[in-house]
Chains A and B, each alone.
Chain A
Amino acid sequence: MTEAHPPGATVAPAPRAQRQTERVADNRRTARLRPETITAVCVFGISILLVLGSRFVSPALGSWDHVNTIILLASFLIVVAFGQGIVIMIGGLDLSVPALITLGGVLTTSWIDASSGMSLPLIPAILLICACIGGISGLGVTLLRIPPFIMTMATGIITASAALGLTSGTPRGAAPPILTALMKASWIGIPVILLFILAFAILGSVLQGRTSYGRRLTAIGANPVAAHVAGIAVRSSVLIAYMLSAAASGFAGMMLAGYANGATLRMGDDYLLPSIAAVVIGGSSILGGSGSFVATIGGAILLTALSTVISALGIPQGWRTVIEGSIILIALLLLRENTFAFLRRRLAR
């Protein structure tokens, strides 16, 4: 298997196999750490340093309040990036994210009236609708073999246009109380959203790292042909991945509606590239087959922390974007596996 690759398959298995032999041969402590763990620790470490260092930018930063703001603003991105991460894991890309965020938000505010008690049955129903749209993307990718980014772009455009047509431009209604509570309430002094993100992180990483479905995704991303040969139901796994991503985006739309107490038609626009960036900064391969959700959360928090600190610098917009882009680039360069391998060799010496 390490010698001959089937045509069209990715070459990811080779270094993976090498890494495994390394791991068997080299059992010093530094070598036993998985690269995903190192990335996650690094990304969180950089975020913490950034938040602590931000005291020099403005004395109000670096406080518990600042951390709360970051978690709140990052929560949308974390949920979106969970879905995006699953799709990237299988070697795809989900460009329908903004449209599904908008759809989730618009359906929530227009179907669930702020005063109605129908939130509990309607929220899963809306998530199901979003998942079905993701299913259409999944079917296009698996059955019709349309490249993922074209297929998801198409479903995204159709969904966004449908939302525009249905609302004739002005989404109605307000957010149901349960979503407002999710975003704004506190429970014994702890913001509910913080608890929610913790629970979401645990569930998400268990799904990705500990369930057989999660392992199947890794196998498909590493080599779909080999995964098929190994008896994995590639098509249905891929289909479910797109459905999960769409439902996650739809839920992020609901959270945004709860946060802003209403929906707008461009509410999802700011999440497409950051969702991909969070996944990649979290050390996942953009080609699929590797990555961990915990590190992705770190990526999302790093991006959000960065934007809050840059916002406080009080410099013109152009320079803000230049600095933001440069820091992301440097982070990506530093977080590459080569850097870790180098460090590991150094530490082991």
Chain B
Amino acid sequence: MPNWKRKLSLCAAALCTAAVSLSLTAPSASAQDKKFKIYLSMSYSGNSWQSEAANIVKALAATPPYDKTVELTQVISGTDPQAQIAAYESMIAAKADGIISFPISSTALNRVIHKGCEKGVKFFMYDATVTEPCAYNVSYITAGFGENSAQALVNALGGKGKIFLSRGVPGNSVDKRHTDGAMSVFKKYPGIQVVDEYYSFWDDRTTQQETAKALAAHPDVDGIWAQAGEYGAIQALMDKGSKLVPMTGENSNGFRLALANPDFQKRGLKGVSAGSPPASAGYAFKLMMEALTGKRDLKPGNIEYPLPWVPADQVKLCKGQTFEDGCNAFPEGVVPSSFVTEVFSPTLLPELSIQSALEGKPTPGATIQPLPADVPKAADEPGINCQKCEPPADQYKLTKVQPTVNP
């Protein structure tokens, strides 16, 4: 019965197009001599991280002077690489000046990116990366989240104990890089026993349910190493009773507040909040605009965004709308628990406030500030940001924390 199948897929395609066109943002109206046509291509949307990243790009594009010179169009293509290839194709055909994007695959988009580069389109990838050499990858991936957070957990556990690994999306290169880095540390310690390993899809609620299942079998767990979704892991522990254990996770506001909570600390919670910052999207956008406007001569390649690293004793609540005076978390009620706090950077993105991250609105009175001249280069990671390349010998070198216990 291919007929109903075709009808079904036609119908789905039509509806998806409708959904996509609904979410397109209207470009600012006033006509100028030369407007830069910029496309924001997202693969999926619907979690806090993705929407915050998109919102800060929108906010920056609406901050003077870019509000007059940039015409930003957002396209969400879903989790299917084919759809993002098609989206890139139409952006190239529409004579885009630049495409800023969260790529769904590190390899599947290479051909279309290469074609775009030949037509003079600049491709800036944020957070996730591609192996096509003519693209710019702006990411924290090479900064060693996995190995550093694993060492912090081992230190907190005194070198021995049963742990869970709460991973991301199966088959994803970022999840693999994080886990490989973490395992490079855990393997050194025979006392560390990984008793359960589950995929939580970087989602709070999935993490909570998967952790609850793992806790049913291993109520005596001593620590949890988690990727994004870590707030769910804390909730699962709390559902079980009073005992909390050391854990590491990414940058949700809920997790940072929990780390700083004296009651939770008494019950056994310690750890570190690190991981993927949506701010890298803002950094990528500003770099792209400086390159397009000729303010910066930047060759394509891999650019490293610094790894956010906030141990429990360094959590500091913000009084205002942005990161000021070294603060790094917001009081309860200002933002939802799942809000990823690392949307700000006093040096790289002073233009942003909470409203930028939540609603894509520019901060009143802010203007675009120039970026520091120095752009940190990222190490090669085969299959992640380069094709036929060798990783450096010190790929899993610890940068944020040193071992305090011997294997």
Contacts and interface: CB of A to CB of B under 8 A. Distances in A.
Contact of A317 (B170, B219, B220, B360): B170
Contacts of B196: 311-312, 314
Interface string B230-274: 001001000100000000000000100000000000000000000
Given A58-B218, A168-B55, A168-B359, A265 B199 contact: no
A264 B197 contact: no
B214 A261 contact: no
Interface stretch (B7-15, B63-71, B291-299, B312-320): B7-15
A308 B213 contact: yes
B173 interface: no
A243 interface: no
Contact of A164 (B46, B205, B220): B46
A57 B213 CA distance: 13
Given A266-B203, A317-B199, A171 B213 contact: no
B359 A65 contact: no
Contacts of B11: 150, 153-154
A65 B219 contact: yes
A74 to B, nearest CB: 11
Nearest to B339: A170
A305 to B, nearest CB: 10
Contacts of A49: none
B358 A307 contact: no
Given A73-B212, A161-B19, A61 B217 contact: yes
A314 B165 CA distance: 11
Interface string B45-81: 1111011101100000000000000000000000000
A169 interface: yes
A316 to B, nearest CB: 8
Given A267-B205, A312-B196, A169 B47 contact: yes
Contacts of A154: 11, 15
A173 interface: yes
Q: Which residue, of B212, B216, B239, B254, has the highest number of chain A Cβ atoms within 10 A? A: B216
A61 B50 CA distance: 37
B203 A73 contact: no
Interface string B359-370: 110000000000
Nearest to A317: B170
B198 A311 contact: yes
A57 B196 CA distance: 13
Q: Which residue, of B47, B203, B336, has the highest number of chain A Cβ atoms within 10 A? A: B336
A169 B208 contact: no
Contact of A311 (B22, B54, B214, B358): B214
Nearest to B16: A157
A174 interface: yes
B290 interface: no
B206 interface: yes
Contact of A73 (B209, B218, B232, B358): B209
A61 B205 contact: no
Q: Is the interface of A mostly helix, strand, loop or mixed?
A: helix
Interface in B36-52: 45-48, 50-52
Q: Which residue, of A58, A73, A262, has the highest number of chain B Cβ atoms within 10 A? A: A262
Interface string A184-207: 100000000000000000000000
A259 interface: yes
Contacts of B8: 149-150, 153
A312 B220 CA distance: 13
Contacts of B235: 260-261
B358 A170 contact: yes
A308 B203 CA distance: 19
Given A60-B217, A69-B216, A264-B203, A169 B48 contact: yes
B101 to A, nearest CB: 16
Nearest to B217: A312
A307 B213 contact: yes
Interface in B283-318: none
B216 A265 contact: no
Contacts of B203: 264, 266
A22 interface: no
Given A72-B212, A259-B208, A169 B54 contact: yes
Interface string B16-37: 1011001100000000000000
B210 interface: yes
Contacts of B205: 256, 259-260, 264, 267
A262 B358 CA distance: 16
Contacts of B338: 170-171, 262, 264
A161 B195 CA distance: 39
A270 interface: yes
A270 B206 contact: yes
A260 B336 contact: no
Given A265-B47, A312-B217, A168 B360 contact: yes
B148 interface: no
Contact of A158 (B15, B45, B48, B336): B15
Interface in A138-165: 147, 149-150, 153-154, 157-158, 160-161, 164-165
Nearest to B51: A169
B139 interface: no
A336 interface: no
A169 B217 contact: no
B47 A184 contact: no
Interface string A37-69: 000000000000000000001101100011001
B380 interface: no
B280 interface: no
Given A73-B209, A161-B23, A66 B15 contact: no
B216 A266 contact: no
A262 B46 contact: no
A109 B335 CA distance: 12
Given A170-B52, A262-B336, A157 B19 contact: yes
Contacts of B48: 169-170, 264
Contacts of B322: none
B336 A169 contact: no
Q: Which residue, of B7, B205, B218, B339, has the highest number of chain A Cβ atoms within 10 A? A: B205
21 contacts: A57-B217, A60-B217, A66-B217, A72-B239, A73-B212, A150-B8, A157-B12, A158-B19, A164-B23, A169-B51, A169-B54, A170-B336, A184-B239, A256-B205, A259-B208, A264-B203, A264-B205, A265-B46, A266-B46, A267-B205, A308-B213
Interface of B: 4, 7-8, 11-12, 15-16, 18-19, 22-23, 45-48, 50-52, 54-55, 170, 195-199, 201, 203-206, 208-210, 212-220, 232, 235, 239, 254, 336-339, 358-360
Listed from nearest, the 10 A-B pairs whose CB atoms lie closest are A169-B51, A312-B217, A265-B46, A58-B217, A161-B19, A311-B213, A260-B205, A69-B216, A308-B213, A157-B15
